[in-house]
Structure 1
Amino acid sequence: MVLTGGICIGFAPIGLRLGLGELGPQGIAFWRYAFAAPLLLGLVFLIERRAPRPPNRFVLLAGTFFTLDIALWHWGLTLTTVSNATFIVNLGNVSVGFVAWLFLKERPTNIWFVAILLAVAGAAALSLGGEVGGKGDIRGDLLALGAALLVSGYMLCSKLARRRLGGIETIFWLTIVEVCVGGLILLLSGEPRLPATLNGFGVPLFLAVVVQIMGQGLIIAGLGRTPAAIAGVLVVVQPVVAAAISWVLFDEPLTALQAGGAVAILVAVWLSQRGKPVPID
């Protein structure tokens, strides 16, 4: 479930790229959350046969972390290169295991550390191994680093939230928090709140279904049954998916170094599942 969710999230940067003609990056994020919320509420009633239970504090924290992560990531992309920002943010995913080890006492297996090294090397090769698309800026890199830290907080709090709520309830309340925080960010950003035409809602609607409901929903559901350390490596598959889609849609073939990085990430995903972390008493 986590791996499939990571594959779905790989469509996020593609959708953002296609939708920027009608909305700004913060606007796309807000409408993604807004379209997903009522659909998720319907799924709660369909699956659970009842209204969603009240959220806990970990849901509120996770939703806030995630919304700020997306906001910083989008902001960082305007100040530094896409390759820099992508690599730095993915460091947040692979660091989830260390955060879970510290706070949840989930000790990873030895093979997990090998998977982490492969994942980091692969992400570096995939993100930084292509053509240089601009000049890096330390301000943008720091924003991406902040987003990476927020990713770790989001994954940790989401796993804690899943201990008392079902997967569909958790992603519903996360999305409600994201609508509130994302709406405030949109107001402060000064971006247009509505697209110029109705067609401008197409990309956010697509992202709501594929990325928010399917992607985030599957990851949250899977976190209830998957150690955080493994989940953090599994979601690193998303840049591989994004790169493959970009190759097809935008005629952006991978360099040999990038292709090697993609293979390294896939091997890391496979290795990360060889064994389960042992809880520390």
Structure 2
Amino acid sequence: MSQKILHQQPPSLLAFAALLAGNIAIAFGPLLVRFADSGPIATGFWRLALATPFLFFVGYRFGFRFSALGKSTIWLATIAGLFFGVDIILWHIGIFQTKMANATLFANCASLILVVYGIFVARKMPSKWESAAVLFAFVGAALLMGQSLDLSPRHFQGDILSLAAGLTYTVYLVLMMRVRQNTESWGALGMASAVAAVILLTGSIVAGEQVIPTVWWPVVLLAFSSQFFGQGCLTYALPHFSPLVIGLALLFQPALSAAAGWLAFGETLTAMDFTGSALVMIALVLVRKQ
């Protein structure tokens, strides 16, 4: 299989399904992070360390060859991995210092930034369906954010950490879009994950965390749901869609995380939460129509 991936291939139903499925799997990650008894940074390390060998194995089966990559692609994947590692450190710490919906929403500020970035890169105004989707998504995000903006000190630090995670995640996604133009998805994600795992292990040791978990099922499930399947599907979908569409799809995660927080930890959901989630889902329907 050729290492060169066409960037302008038309989006398929499979690619759109992968985009949504990946976001669904990633959205339940905070739930598993809370269940893990290792430190939050160490949990992120196991998420990557357990998944990375399988990512490379699947990538090899689909034609990934490290020796065939150009230096620029390797450097881009390395830098992407650095940002991904910092993103997970910030997000996993933030998950314990705010509500699950808050952590996911602020971490996915990347979605709003990518929407603006997508319009800038395209150098043209969105179509009527894209404009409607952007409007619904922004209003939905505003409603969700309005509910999560609890200015009490107990949530403030976690919200700031999650927001910083969102900014680093934006850089990671933009870099991975470029990496995916030159290689297949699983190997690309494997390279970034390997670099990020080193960052996380170092951070966990420096922070003095418990690195080895006593209960393994949360980190194993996190590795294969959020990282292998979730990020794998998302990375596969990257070259099939514009940054605008990727950004809108990321807004699906806060709605699902809010539901997970309600089911697992009794976190309150209001009518505005439901309305905001519904508007985000309508935006996704409009994007698919386009």
| 1:264 equivalent in structure 2 | 279
Shift of 1:139: 4.8
| 1:122 equivalent in structure 2 | 140
TM-score (norm 2): 0.81
1:23 corresponds, among 38, 58, 67, to 38
Contact 1:36 1:209 (8 Å CA) reproduced: yes
Shift of 1:17: 1.7
| 1:8 equivalent in structure 2 | 25
| 2:190 equivalent in structure 1 | 172
> Does 2:226 align with 1:208?
no
Q: Write the letter of the residue equivalent to 2:28.
A: F
Contact 1:97 1:229 (8 Å CA) reproduced: yes
> Does 2:148 align with 1:148?
no
| 2:112 equivalent in structure 1 | 94
Q: Which moved more, 1:71-80 or 1:226-235?
A: 71-80
C-alpha distance in 2, partners of 1:89/1:100? Answer: 19
C-alpha distance in 1, partners of 2:47/2:38? Answer: 12
C-alpha distance in 2, partners of 1:250/1:233? Answer: 27
| 2:7 equivalent in structure 1 | none
C-alpha distance in 2, partners of 1:127/1:169? Answer: 35
| 2:83 equivalent in structure 1 | 65
C-alpha distance in 1, partners of 2:123/2:75? Answer: 20
The secondary structure found in structure 1 opposite 2:240 is coil
| Correspondence 1:211-222 to 2 at 5 A | 211-222=226-237
Contact 2:101 2:255 (8 Å CA) reproduced: no
Aligned positions, number: 270
2:61 corresponds, among 38, 46, 49, to 46
C-alpha distance in 1, partners of 2:142/2:154? Answer: 15
Q: Write the letter of the residue equivalent to 1:40.
A: L
The secondary structure found in structure 1 opposite 2:283 is helix
| 1:76 equivalent in structure 2 | 94
| 2:269 equivalent in structure 1 | 254
C-alpha distance in 2, partners of 1:131/1:166? Answer: 39
Contact 1:79 1:140 (8 Å CA) reproduced: yes
C-alpha distance in 2, partners of 1:136/1:39? Answer: 38
Identity of aligned residues (%): 27
The secondary structure found in structure 2 opposite 1:261 is helix
Can you list the C-alpha shifts for 1:23-69, whole angstroms capped at 9, x where unaligned? 11111100010100111122123333866754522211222212211
Can you list the C-alpha shifts for 1:222-264, whole angstroms capped at 9, x where unaligned? 0021111101111211122223334444455632221111101
Unaligned runs of 5+ in 2: 1-17
C-alpha distance in 1, partners of 2:236/2:125? Answer: 21
Can you list the C-alpha shifts for 1:157-181, whole angstroms capped at 9, x where unaligned? 1110001011111111111111111
C-alpha distance in 2, partners of 1:229/1:53? Answer: 31
Shift of 1:122: 2.0
Cα–Cα, structure 1 residues 126 and 188, in superposed 2: closer, same or farther, change >3 Å? same
C-alpha distance in 2, partners of 1:183/1:64? Answer: 12
Can you list the C-alpha shifts for 1:56-93, whole angstroms capped at 9, x where unaligned? 22211222212211212233345556554443322222
Unaligned runs of 5+ in 1: 276-281
Q: RMSD across aligned C-alpha pairs, in angstroms?
A: 2.8
